[in-house]
Amino acid sequence: MRVLVTGGAGFIGSHLADRLLAAGHHVRAFDALDPQVHPSGAPDYLDPAVELVVGDIRDESAVGRALDDIDAVVHLAAVVGVGQSMYEIRRYVDVNSTGCAVLLEQLVERRARIKRLVVASSMSIYGEGQYANSVTGERGLAPNLRPENQLAERRWELETEAGERLVSEPTGEDKPLRPTSVYAVTKRDHEELCLSVGAAYAIPTLALRLFNVYGPRQALSNPYTGVGAIFASRLLNGHAPVAFEDGHQTRDFVHVTDVARAFQLATESTVTGHALNVCTGRPASVIDVANGLASGLGLAIECDVVGRYRAGDIRHCIGDPTRTAEVLGFRAEVEVAHGLGELAQWLSGQEAVDRVDQAMDELRRRGLER
């Protein structure tokens, strides 16, 4: 099979390319090589067997040429970063939402050949995760963001209006979508555009809702990428990782090798029309991830818990892997402790420019950090 991977020179795309090549597929990577992600151009880690086509996802001619003689498409291309999306609104909507529309228009013109479309969605489209009421026992709750007055009082956990504590539970695919950032809105666009166009034109389509992906090849000098890479850039420069709130907010950290395997399964599958979580189902706190990385690097640097908060931040979101296991036969295999150790081993040979303070200053200047 001839597979086009948009964003194929990136973190997840390159790992997927490795798997697809090993399985005997031809891989073409379409990538803009954004300097924020690829400051030195095409990365050394990209397998020479990958056919790299450099172009902008909004350029319909370039996208059309990249789609020629392709059998399946995995759409990963996007600008990422929740914080940056809140002040570069037009760029995020243009690249992510308009870029997806351009891809789909070009894909529809070639639908007689296209056998498969897989799109990268995101856990960010859920907003807050799923909760249960610790007093009443009610489950499957989908609360809104914590009110500003509660955050101003540094009461971090979710509560009902009556003051009853809400506790995190695994977030299933049926939870209402409540994106809280421009980036999240554009990822919802990705998912809904691809699933609706795929259904209308009988193009078998799957959307994978990725939770917090970490692992080797992350863009370490990009202060808006995943939290693992942000912490790593701080540690590699001898600085303390910064944790907002009290550091005990939890996420579902899923290793990039598991994510690449999920995309391969989705690309080779005949299942269609679903949006599926790609997650571990196990919580890890932000402070534990920071300390785990420091320990793996042999550094006695403790996390700096700042007690501040950012507009739109959620408290807990852990994925429910059940449906993905049933529909796609996928379960994550890499435990966070092992994955962080592997990431630390890779980091020991890397350099990073720490731009985190600059990014935080930008948020603070715009009133997005409080």
pLDDT digits (tens, 9 = 90+) for 182-204: 999 999 999 999 999 999 999 99
Alpha-carbon Rg for the chain, nearest whole angstrom, is 20
pLDDT score of 196: 98
Side-chain half-sphere exposure of 338, counting CA atoms within 13 A = 9
* pLDDT score for 356: 83
Where are the strands (E) in 266-348, listed by range?
274-278, 284-285, 304-305, 316-317
Please answer whether residues 324 and 277 qualify as being in contact, where contact means their C-beta atoms are separated by less than 8 angstroms: yes
Q: What is the pLDDT of residue 350?
A: 87
Give the model's pLDDT for residue 178.
Answer: 97
Domains along the sequence of the chain with CATH: 2-129+171-308+318-364 (3.40.50.720), 130-170 (no CATH)
Other CB atoms within a 10 A radius of the CB of residue 178 amount to: 16
- List the structure tokens of 166: 């809400």
Three-state DSSP state, 97: helix
Distance CA 354, CA 126 (A): 30
- Beta pairing, strands 250-251 & 274-278: unpaired
Q: Give residue 352's pLDDT.
A: 81
Q: What are phi and psi of 142, to 5 degrees?
A: -125, 75
Question: Do residues 294 and 235 touch, judged by C-beta distance below 8 A?
Answer: yes
Q: Which residues of the chain have pLDDT under 70?
A: none
List Cβ neighbours of 364 (8 Å cut-off, separation of 6 or more). none
Give the pLDDT of residue 330. Answer: 98
**Distance separating alpha carbons of residues 71 and 110, to the nearest angstrom:** 10
Give the whole-angstrom CA distance, residue 3 versus residue 114: 10
Q: How many CB atoms are located within 10 Å of the residue 202 CB?
A: 9
Which pLDDT score, from 0 to 100, does residue 43 have? 95
